[in-house]
Amino acid sequence: MSVIVALLALVLLGARAEAQRPDSTLIVRVLDVGQGDAVLIENGGSRVLVDGGPSAKVLGRYLDQYRLNGDTISVILTHQHADHYMGLRELFAKRRRITVRYFWENQDPSPNVTLRRLRDQIGARVREGSLTYRSTDDPCANGQPLCTITLRGGAKLHIMRPDPNGDGANNRSVALKLVGPDSAFTMWMAGDAEHEETDWFERGAHYDVTPGMSVDVLKADHHGSCTGVTPRYLELLRPSLVVASLGAVNDYGHMHEQAKEMFQRRQLDWYRTDQNGTITLKWPAVAGNGFSIEVERGGRNLSGPSDRRCRERG
C-alpha cells in the first residue's frame, strides 16, 4: 500500500502567541496516573495530551501542577478504554477555562455512558466553533492515512490511521510518532495495540516505510503487556529506551515478565510510572546533545508487585 503523507497546515498554539521565535525545547511527560495512560507533550507553547488516564481527579492535579488552566490543549485519545479517557472529562470543567482546540479519536460507536458524555461535551464545543473534532481514521480530514501536525517549537507529531479491521478496542489504537525539532529525538506511542495491530503497522499500513518506525524511545504498548510487544516489533522500532505507564497493583500482571525479557535481550533499559513516578523526557538535554530522562524516584529496570508471566504468546 502506498502511504501518502499529508502535512497538516496548522500550528498548535499555546494560550499566548509570542513575537520572538518559540523555544524549541521538547518536553514529554509520561504522567503517573495509575493503571492507565496519559502523556503530555510540550513544545514552543504548544501542548498536546495523549490520553487522560482513569481519573479526572488525578488528571486535574496535573493540570494544576503544570499550570494548564486557562491554556489551549489539543487531545488525542488512542482508543476507547476507560483507563485512557476517563480523566479527559476534567479538561471540559468550566472552572478550568481550558480551550480544547483539536480532539482526535476513532469515533467508533460505544455503549459506554461516560464516553458518550465526553462526546457530548466535545460536540457542544464543536457547535460553539471552538473545537475541531477529527477521526483518527481520517486524521487530516482529507482521506489520507497519515497526518502530520507541527508544534510551535518545530516538533512534529505523525498521527497514523489505526487498523480499520482491528479486533476490539486495543487493536483500534492510533499509532503516533513524535519527531523533535531537526529530527533530533523520536518517540513511538500506540496506546494498547496488540500483536494483531502491531503486525498490521508493518504489513498492512507500511508505517515502517512512511513515516518510518525507528525511534529513540518506545512507550510500551498496553502497559508493558506481553500482548503489546514482539521481537519483530522491537526490531522495527529499534528504541534505546522503553517507558511504561501502569499501576503498581493491577489485576493484569503488568509489566509481564515476557515483555521485560524481550527488552533485556535487546539490552533495553526501561522506566515505569508505578515504580518511578512521572517520567520526563527532555530534548535537548541540559548538558550536551541528546535527550535527558528524569524520574521522581527509583532507578531503571525495576520490577513491580503485580508483575507476572502472562498466558498469552509473548
Q: Quote the pLDDT of residue 21.
A: 55
Phi, psi of 149 (to 5 degrees): -110, 145
Cβ–Cβ < 8 Å for 219, 187: yes
Residue 310: Cβ-neighbour burial (10 angstroms; 0-12, 13-18, 19+) = middle
Superfamily, domain 5-13+24-295: Ribonuclease Z/Hydroxyacylglutathione hydrolase-like (3.60.15.10)
pLDDT at residue number 84? 98
CA gap 299, 275 in Å, rounded: 8
Query: What confidence tier does 14 reach under pLDDT thresholds 50, 70, 90?
Result: very low
pTM: 0.93
Residue 101 near residue 151 (C-beta atoms within 8 A):
no
Break the chain into its structural domains and give their ranges: 5-13+24-295
Name the one residue in this structure whose C-alpha cell is 503485580. Answer: 306
Tens digit of pLDDT for each residue in 287-298? 666 899 999 999
* pLDDT, tens digit (0-9, with 9 covering 90-100), for 51-107: 999 999 999 999 999 999 999 999 999 999 999 999 999 999 999 999 999 999 999
State yes or no: pLDDT of 9 exceeds 90.
Answer: no
Is residue 310 over pLDDT 90? yes
pLDDT average, residue stretch 263-285: 96
249-271 pLDDT per residue, tens: 999 999 999 999 999 999 999 99
Residue 1 has pLDDT above 90, yes or no: no
- The rounded distance, in Å, linking the Cα atoms of 185 and 144 is 25
Average confidence score pLDDT of the chain: 92
pLDDT, tens only, 156-172: 999 999 999 999 999 99
pLDDT score recorded for residue 10:
44
What the block records as the C-alpha cell of 198 is 502491531
Taking alpha carbons only, the member of 264, 218, 257, 220 closest to residue 241 is: 218
| Band of residue 285 on the pLDDT scale cut at 50, 70, 90 | confident
Instruction: Tell me how far apart the alpha carbons of residues 243 and 221 are, in angstroms, rounded to a whole number.
Output: 10
